[in-house]
Amino acid sequence: MIGGRWKWPHLENLNYYLSLGVKVFRIPFKWNRLQPDIAKPLEPAALEGLDRLVGRAVGEGAVVLLDMHDYGRRDKIVIGDGTSAATLESYASFWGELAQRYGKNSLVWYGLMNEPHDQDPILNLNTQNAACAEIRRRGGTGTVLFSGIAWTGAHSWTKTSNGTVMLQAFDPVDNYGFDMHQYLDKGFGGSNPIATEGIGKRILKSATDWATQHRKRIFIGEFATGRTEGSLRELRDLLDAMMARPDIFLGATYWAGGGVWGNTNQQTVDPPRDSPGVMSEQMNLLLPYVGCRG
């Protein structure tokens, strides 16, 4: 279960970012890694690694965002659609198990689903509302982040049903926000390391206006770009746009670190494997923004 290509990041990688003052870590996982059999106990070997990362980060006062990285599905079937054991109830119960394990620490946050897509928006809303309710019932105190359909893109939030449907997101203790993702390349998918000129200043405006109008909060769970001078300029503009509205933006996590990206990825903030003492251009740019919300 823990062998092969899948593994938790090494503590050395986490320690690198802690030493730079990073205050929030998004830790992705797949539901079936932590709970191979639905409605059965969680996998102890997988939890051991997660416990180690969570304990180290929160011990240094950093937020850990638990991120179910499943795109609205389990085993390629949409959660809650009635065709598999991955029901609304089993999904909510899984989140309740994590809340019971970590919930007394408010530095543990809950990212209910990474990038749902090609599914009914009401079903997406209902499954996440059920999960949030179960997190609170089982003692979870940290912030809950809801995700919209259409890959939860900030650029398209108000152009899709997210702008209306997700207004019905409900947290019994009113400690929640919306996980939105925003890449800077053409098409907004993040596969191209070259940012579109002028995108950094304008791309969050419609989502920011929506959040302002409805008194909502946003967390940018994924953003990234490449190392060219122009791309880094757009990255700085994006960060400045978030910093200008601390009433709206809870924070952000760059995609990605973790020590698994090697030497060829142009967008990671990890140091090169063959030059571990060299800081990436993106990390160097991010440093003045790191931890700035205390």
DSSP state of 225: -
Catalytic residue among 43, 222, 229, 281: 222
User: 195 lies in a domain?
Assistant: yes
* Count of beta carbons in the 10 Å neighbourhood of residue 106: 13
- CA-CA distance, 109 to 64, in Å (whole number)? 6
CATH, residue 204? 3.20.20.80
Strands, E assignment, 69-203 = 73-74, 77-78, 108-111, 144-147, 176-181
Task: Evaluate the CA torsion angle 146, 148, 149, 154 in order and state its sign.
Answer: negative
For the stretch 52-109, pLDDT in tens is 999 999 999 999 999 999 999 999 999 999 999 999 999 999 999 999 999 899 999 9
pLDDT on residue 58: 98
* Count of beta carbons in the 10 Å neighbourhood of residue 7: 12
- 109 strand-pairing partners: 65
Please count the structural domains in the chain: 1
- CA-CA distance, 2 to 222, in Å (whole number)? 25
Catalytic residue among 115, 134, 197, 234: 115
In the annotation, is 222 catalytic? Answer: yes
CB 65 within 8 A of CB 25: yes
pLDDT on residue 1: 35
Helix H or strand E segment including 218: strand 218-222
User: 1 lies in a domain?
Assistant: no
> Tokens in use for 38?
């639905």
- CA-CA distance, 115 to 286, in Å (whole number)? 24
In the annotation, is 115 catalytic? Answer: yes
> Tokens in use for 221?
């769970």
Phi, psi of 158 (to 5 degrees): -85, -5
User: 2 lies in a domain?
Assistant: no
For the chain, first and last CA: distance in Å?
A: 37
User: 6 lies in a domain?
Assistant: no
* Count of beta carbons in the 10 Å neighbourhood of residue 138: 17
Q: Which residues of the chain have pLDDT under 50?
A: 1-3, 293-294
Q: How far is CA 40 from the centre of its chain?
A: 26
Q: How far is CA 161 from the centre of its chain?
A: 21
- CA-CA distance, 139 to 220, in Å (whole number)? 25
pLDDT on residue 264: 82
Supply the range of the domain harboring residue 68: 11-289
pTM of the full structure: 0.96
3-state DSSP call for residue 156?
coil
pLDDT on residue 294: 37
User: 5 lies in a domain?
Assistant: no
pLDDT on residue 8: 92
